[in-house]
Amino acid sequence: MEQWAGVLVLVLLFAFIDPSRGSNLRAWHYTTGEFRGRAFKCFEYRFMNVASGADAGESKQPTIEAVFIVTMPESGPSTQVLRPRLLDTLFDRRPRMQLGVPEFDRDFRVITEDEEFVRNVLGRAVVPYLLSDPRTGKSPLQMRDDELFTWYRGTLSPQAVEDKLNYLCDVLDRIPEGAWAAA
pLDDT, position 21: 43
- Greater pLDDT, 5 or 112: 112
Q: What is the mean pLDDT of residues 149-156?
A: 92
Q: State the Cα–Cα distance between residues 114 and 19, nearest whole angstrom.
A: 26
Q: What angle do CA 142, 30, 4 make, to 5 degrees?
A: 45
Confidence tier at 20 by pLDDT (50, 70, 90): very low
Q: State the Cα–Cα distance between residues 133 and 116, nearest whole angstrom.
A: 24
- Greater pLDDT, 116 or 20: 116
Provide the whole-model pTM: 0.77
Residues in the chain: 183
The number of beta carbons lying within 10 Å of the beta carbon of residue 86 is: 8
